[in-house]
Amino acid sequence: MQEFINWTVDTIREDKLLAPWLEERKFDWTPLVSKSITNILEKGCSVIIITDSNREWFLNYCLININNKSLNRPFLPFYDFKSFYSKLEQVKNEDDISFIKDMLNISFPNGYVFWYIGRGQDPRAIIPKISKNSFLWLLDDEQQDAFNLRSSDEALDMKLLQMFRLYNKTISAALFAEINVEN
């Protein structure tokens, strides 16, 4: 079993569709991915994906590809938050958040985590940013325990696709005991 950070670097270097910028950010990347995959595979949490409106295309891409049959692995519990609650932009106070969390606690008795991709100041980011164990890919917002990017980056869409590719490969490697993401 290969050490997670070494596996990450080797995978970035060997996969021609992944770019060197990810290797430069490996120390930002690996702890966040480790926590995310541990929540899914060891704690049995479901993943609820939320994006800002400009990244909805990416949410659809993730949902189509995360459980692609060609991966030859069990389907994993990734869901679009809009399928549970479509008016996230209208959440205004702690009561609204509490009602949503109550619904999710009933729906996911094994637990759930948010995966948020988008601007940190977007109204859709409120719940994921205040929730424990969220997997945050934040744009234009510097937050600890998040992978921070810039929306002004010309290569942003490509970077998101590369990050997803690496994340998906990491899930498979952890699922098939090639790596231990906790090390």
CATH number of residue 27's parent domain: 3.40.50.11670
Task: Tell which wins on pLDDT, 91 or 54.
Answer: 54
pLDDT at 59 over 90: yes
Helix (H, G, I), strand (E, B) or coil at 3: strand
Q: Residues 41-55: what's their mean pLDDT?
A: 96
Helix (H, G, I), strand (E, B) or coil at 76: coil
Number of domains in the chain: 1
DSSP secondary structure letter of residue 18:
S
Q: Give the count of beta carbons closer than 10 Å to the beta carbon of residue 38.
A: 16
Q: Residues 89-109: what's their mean pLDDT?
A: 90
pTM of the entire predicted model: 0.95
Range of the structural domain that residue 54 is part of? 2-180
157 neighbors 183 (Cβ within 8 angstroms): no
Q: Among residues of the chain, what percentage have pLDDT more than 70? A: 99
Compute the residue count for the chain. 183
Q: Note the pLDDT of residue 113.
A: 97
Residue type, 174: A
- Distance CA(117)–CA(153), nearest Å, equals 15
Q: Which residues pair with 48 in a beta bridge?
A: 79, 114
pLDDT at 1 over 90: no
Q: Note the pLDDT of residue 183.
A: 64
pLDDT, tens only, 124-180: 999 999 998 999 999 999 999 999 999 999 999 999 999 999 999 999 999 999 999
- Distance CA(46)–CA(77), nearest Å, equals 5
Q: Note the pLDDT of residue 91.
A: 85
- Distance CA(102)–CA(105), nearest Å, equals 5
* C-alpha distances out from residue 103 to 111, 112, 172, Å: 12, 11, 30
